[in-house]
Amino acid sequence: MIRDTIHYLEKYRALGKRFVTAIDYLVQTDLQQLEPGRHTIDGDDVFILVSEYTTKPLESGFWEAHRKYVDFQFIISGKEQIGYANLDHLTVSKPYEESSDALFLDGPADDMLIMNAGELAIFWPEDAHMPSIADGTPSQVKKAVVKVKL
């Protein structure tokens, strides 16, 4: 898991061509203007999911992990907590579904990240994450999740 801000993404270009594509899109696009939904960047290799929602209590959250894609979870506006745990520290609650590239899990967090506008977390296949959690009081969030195929 990597946590950073949009201002320091340049150093991750070394991760490969698809990461360069994702970084260029995040840096060059006015994300606030994007409508919720899926937006294609480079076919199924790199795309973005934009969502708007109200954060929820921790007890309403759920763990997820992905095998085919890395998630760049970028907070466009608002504030939320995102739980993080290594897959080895959790138990499977719902087996992996290839069609949705999702594995669901149970267990405690290794860490809770407080994410503000302009910040992002990059989650790899071994990084379970629990997004959309309120930091005390529920708040409105607009988020972009850039999916980068491995």
Distance CA 123, CA 148 (A): 10
Strands of 102-106's sheet, edge to edge? 91-97, 102-106, 63-65, 127-133, 79-86, 111-116
Taking only the tens place, the pLDDT of each residue in 2-56 is: 999 999 999 999 999 999 999 999 999 999 999 999 999 999 999 999 999 999 9
Distance CA 111, CA 86 (A): 10
Residue 100 domain boundaries: 2-149
Give the model's pLDDT for residue 56: 98
Domain containing residue 67: CATH number: 2.60.120.370
Q: What is the pTM of this model?
A: 0.94
Q: Of 111, 124, 122, which Cα lies nearest the Cα of 66?
A: 124
- Number of C-alpha atoms within 13 angstroms, CB side, residue 12? 24
Looking at the structure of the chain, the number of domains it has is: 1
Distance CA 23, CA 41 (A): 11
